[in-house]
A and B are shown apart, each in its own frame.
Chain A
Amino acid sequence: MTPRTRRLLERALPKLLAWLLLAFLFVPVLVVIPVALTDRDYLSLPNNGISFDHFAALANWRAGWMPSILTSLGIAVASSIVATGVSAAFAMGAWVYVGRWPTILRIVLLSPLIVPPIIYAVGMVRLWSKLGLLDTWLGVTIVHVILAIPLAVLAIGASLSNLDPRLVQAARSLGARPATIFGRVILPNIVPGTVAGAILAFIVSWDEITVTLFITSRGIVTLPRKIWTSIADAVDPALAAIATVMLAVTIVGLILRMTVWERIAQRRS
């Protein structure tokens, strides 16, 4: 082996390997698209032509996909609003009130990121059955609020760490009352983080399955729950159709975020 080919190998091989691994991550997700277009009524690649019937089935109210989408949307909007409000209040309070209490509380608030959701699920089944909140809107929404708080706190906290404390000092020395400082000085400065927190909270609730699985049965069927039962029951191509829709929304969302991000970065520079 000449030094030149060796150098080429040392450079090209890791790169090739990385792109193969990236393909392993990305390509399998795309497989739901052709399956959604199959002309058969079982899971398969299209045989004699493509068909959009399985997408049409999603719109059929009685198939249950639309109601579950609306359920998920409702719960996600409600829990995102509550989680964002609570998290913004906490983040602002902890930013001003430095000490042991906010530090400990922050660890507790962030713990759902790490504590396995199955443990929380076991706890909530017990509590909700005692309080009669199993399989109710309120029960699911509260759980989703708790699970969404960590990401909202992180997003809003990141926004606050860029805020100049002298702004608050100036407001205080000019005699602004506490409510004015929080509402009209700090809050307007953390709008981007708060919006990001709200979106993250929405996504957490929209995607949540583990705990929801335990605390709901027939009454509240969120979209993930509907997908879960469909995978377990039968393998219906409508599942591929809903997966395709979710994939498309995710890709559009990501592209939007990337372009918006770049535009903001450009404007700043």
Chain B
Amino acid sequence: MTSFQRWAFCLTVPAALLTLCLYVLPILQVLALSFTEPTFGIGNYVALFQNAAIGRVVRTTVFVSAVTTALTIVMSYAVAFALVHMPPAQRRVALFMVMVPFWISVLVRAFAWITILRRNGVLNSALVGSGAVGEPLELVYNQFGVIVGMVHYMMPFAIMLLYANLSEIDHRIIQAARSLGARPVTIFFRVWVPLSMPGLAIASLFIVIFSLGFLVTPAILGAGRVLMVAEYISVQISSTLRWGVATALSTMLLLVVGALIALAMRSPALRAAFEGGRK
């Protein structure tokens, strides 16, 4: 190793020490605690599978995450597809409408949905006022409200991932399809969609992973009535102090996320994004 390379190596050390000691180790400790708290063994994991309340929380989480991902992907694809076809001036306005919610705090967005969806919120006032419905609708503090908030949170991520993917598709392929007489609907389903499969897969994986561990929006828009895994863990840590259950559930979440990532890493594009840095 030359002295220049030794210097380079030393420059990577502070980041390594920080993350190893204050990120990796605390997480490893979570994993360890799941086997030792309160007693040594796999009791916590047995409890996870036997406890009806946890079963309900897991089912809710899987259901809400699945619906959120499906809705987010379909809606984001529609927006990304339109973005690719917009003239530059329109696209700038559209991208602005995507970026503002992307950069605004998740809390502000959850709060905005509360003011809209509450029993006497903006939407219900409008609906009752116009006579469209007799009674205010229950739009929030239930699964509907949580899913609306989560889809709204996830869409900007998905739109940007899908837009980047769609922009890379060679337009000459589309022109070729058109010149061979394919109709727009055919071109969409038989050319665009198959070519954007890698983007769709990566965007879906990210949304699933974000959804499964999401605390803030489900907690605020569900108000304890739609209990998902992250909020359940948070209750175990802060009120009931059941560290064993909390850490075992965290471990399971980490395993599921890890498995999903391993799946995603089979895609060369994502691997390049993670390991890259030098083209």
Q: Which residues of A come within 8 Å of B, CB atoms?
A: 7, 10-11, 14-15, 17-19, 21-26, 28-29, 31-32, 35, 43-45, 86-87, 89-98, 101-103, 105-112, 114-127, 142-143, 145-146, 149, 153, 157, 160-161, 172, 178-179, 181-182, 203, 207, 209-210, 213-214, 224, 227-228, 231-232, 235, 239-240, 243, 246-247, 250-251, 253-254, 258
CA distance A19 to B233 in the complex (A): 38
Majority DSSP secondary structure for residues of B touching A: helix
Q: Which A residues are in CB contact (< 8 Å) with B152?
A: 24-25, 28
User: In the bound complex, do residue A14 and residue B81 qualify as a contact, i.e. CB atoms below 8 Å apart?
Assistant: yes
B173 near A: Cβ within 8 Å?
Answer: no
**Nearest-Cβ distance from residue A194 to partner chain B, whole angstroms:** 14
B162 near A: Cβ within 8 Å?
Answer: no
User: In the bound complex, do residue A10 and residue B104 qualify as a contact, i.e. CB atoms below 8 Å apart?
Assistant: no
Q: Which B residues are in CB contact (< 8 Å) with A172?
A: 4
25 interchain pairs, CB-CB under 8 A: A14-B82, A15-B85, A19-B82, A28-B109, A29-B101, A29-B109, A35-B115, A90-B12, A92-B8, A93-B9, A96-B4, A96-B5, A101-B12, A126-B243, A161-B278, A178-B6, A209-B216, A224-B107, A228-B216, A231-B114, A250-B100, A250-B104, A253-B103, A254-B96, A254-B100
User: In the bound complex, do residue B15 and residue A90 qualify as a contact, i.e. CB atoms below 8 Å apart?
Assistant: yes
Once A18-B81, A22-B97 are accepted as A-B contacts, the answer to whether A182 and B18 lie under 8 Å apart by CB is no
**Which listed residue (B11, B24, B100, B125) contacts A182, Cβ 8 A?**
B11
User: In the bound complex, do residue A32 and residue B115 qualify as a contact, i.e. CB atoms below 8 Å apart?
Assistant: yes
**Nearest-Cβ distance from residue B22 to partner chain A, whole angstroms:** 6
Residue of A nearest to B83 (CB): A18
Once A123-B29, A157-B277, A246-B108 are accepted as A-B contacts, the answer to whether A22 and B94 lie under 8 Å apart by CB is yes
Of A7, A98, A254, the most chain B CB neighbours within 10 A belong to A254
User: In the bound complex, do residue B213 and residue A119 qualify as a contact, i.e. CB atoms below 8 Å apart?
Assistant: yes
User: In the bound complex, do residue B15 and residue A120 qualify as a contact, i.e. CB atoms below 8 Å apart?
Assistant: no
User: In the bound complex, do residue B12 and residue A89 qualify as a contact, i.e. CB atoms below 8 Å apart?
Assistant: yes
Once A94-B277, A119-B27, A214-B238 are accepted as A-B contacts, the answer to whether A32 and B15 lie under 8 Å apart by CB is no
B116 near A: Cβ within 8 Å?
Answer: yes
CA distance A108 to B24 in the complex (A): 8
Q: Which A residues are in CB contact (< 8 Å) with B206?
A: 114
User: In the bound complex, do residue B108 and residue A117 qualify as a contact, i.e. CB atoms below 8 Å apart?
Assistant: no
User: In the bound complex, do residue A97 and residue B274 qualify as a contact, i.e. CB atoms below 8 Å apart?
Assistant: no
Q: Which A residues are in CB contact (< 8 Å) with B23?
A: 108, 111-112, 120, 146
B177 near A: Cβ within 8 Å?
Answer: no
CA distance A160 to B276 in the complex (A): 11
User: In the bound complex, do residue B16 and residue A142 qualify as a contact, i.e. CB atoms below 8 Å apart?
Assistant: no
User: In the bound complex, do residue B111 and residue A227 qualify as a contact, i.e. CB atoms below 8 Å apart?
Assistant: yes
B147 near A: Cβ within 8 Å?
Answer: no
**Which range contains the number of B residues in contact with the other chain?**
35 or more
CA distance A250 to B97 in the complex (A): 12
The 10 A-B residue pairs with the shortest CB-CB distance, nearest first, are A116-B213, A123-B26, A93-B11, A18-B82, A96-B8, A97-B8, A90-B15, A178-B7, A93-B12, A26-B97
CA distance A208 to B130 in the complex (A): 40
Additional A-B contacts beyond A97-B5, A116-B212 (5; CB < 8 A): A14-B78, A18-B79, A25-B155, A111-B23, A178-B7
CA distance A26 to B24 in the complex (A): 37
Q: Which A residues are in CB contact (< 8 Å) with B22?
A: 127, 142-143, 146
**Nearest-Cβ distance from residue A17 to partner chain B, whole angstroms:** 6
Residue of A nearest to B236 (CB): A122
**Nearest-Cβ distance from residue B228 to partner chain A, whole angstroms:** 10
B267 near A: Cβ within 8 Å?
Answer: no
Task: Mark contacts of B107-126 with chain A using CB atoms, 8 A cut-off: 1 yes-contact digit, 0 otherwise.
Answer: 11111111110101110010
Of B7, B83, B106, B254, the most chain A CB neighbours within 10 A belong to B7
